[in-house]
Structure 1
């Protein structure tokens, strides 16, 4: 999902939802589930991801919280990428946030990929067999979680 061009969440423009927001909400409403895969910045999520989740957590009908949101009770799982911490910080913060905005989170397993210093230099991420196995296990568990 492309969301790098969305404006900052702002109550002043919320009722006139920009086209990018309308498009993204429609995409999310059509999706059965979401898998959030995030890099870790300063032990947390990137601002652009938080902004997206802020927009998606707003009511479908202006000021009508009983109308639901595009993501309320949407089943979701989390993975992350960083250095030695294997994205533990972003996964913890996303766990808190996704629960708060009433998503149905599969808390475990979560996959954290620890990038090597070489990956930071080259900008290329190579998954180890251990990472691939962990992602496959997470996928298997997520399919069970969503009843597939």
Structure 2
């Protein structure tokens, strides 16, 4: 059974990307995977003054990443970039886990990561490309299949995003690819 840690880049309680992550999670669980959701909203801003010992929320996040076989990040883009909360979480993840030891921790090296995002007209694809570059730099192994989903204007008006059949099919294909 694969253990997958789901990381949602939006901190909003009812975010569209959380909706997408829940859809993905449902499919992964149906195919026998174990899915856990990380809570990056509780992480303090990265600050070397509080790095050792790391705050408990940072330790919990690191333990979740270490226990997972892989990560699945579902995120919007903000101004064609990585959302601040997600960038902060990744910055904490890239830092040493003990004083005097430099570089990213071994447990993130070559860990597979799938990337999905939902956004406006550009379907979060620019932000996903930046995210892939960052993850590669950090030593993780992002999949080349970046899936961006366009959120219809009506969803922004109603606050509710329902994936259409084409979007569900793309997600199903991405789930199949990830589990292979």
Instruction: Please give the TM-score of this superposition, normalised by the length of structure 2.
Output: 0.75
Alignment CA distance shift 1:20-1:43 (3 Å): same
Residue 113 (structure 2) pairs with residue 76 (structure 1): yes
Distance in 2 (CA, whole Å) between partners of 1:88 and 1:105 is 14
Aligned to 1:19: 56
Secondary structure of the residue aligned to 1:133 is helix
**C-alpha RMSD of the superposition:** 1.4
Structure 2 unmatched ranges of 5 or more: 1-37
Distance in 2 (CA, whole Å) between partners of 1:67 and 1:47 is 20
Higher strand share: 1
Superposed CA offset, 1:56-102 (max 9, x none): 11123223136724422211010001011111111111111100101
Superposed CA offset, 1:21-43 (max 9, x none): 11111111101100000011101
Structure 1 unmatched ranges of 5 or more: none
Aligned to 1:30: 67
Residue 154 (structure 2) pairs with residue 118 (structure 1): yes
| Moved beyond 2 Å, runs of 4+ | 60-63, 65-72
Distance in 1 (CA, whole Å) between partners of 2:91 and 2:44 is 11
Secondary structure of the residue aligned to 2:162 is coil
Residue 129 (structure 2) pairs with residue 92 (structure 1): yes
Aligned to 1:40: 77
Aligned to 1:10: 47
Q: Indicate if the aligned counterparts of 2:95 and 2:104 stay in contact, CA closer than 8 A.
A: no
Aligned length, in residue pairs: 143
Distance in 2 (CA, whole Å) between partners of 1:67 and 1:139 is 28
Q: Indicate if the aligned counterparts of 1:8 and 1:51 stay in contact, CA closer than 8 A.
A: yes
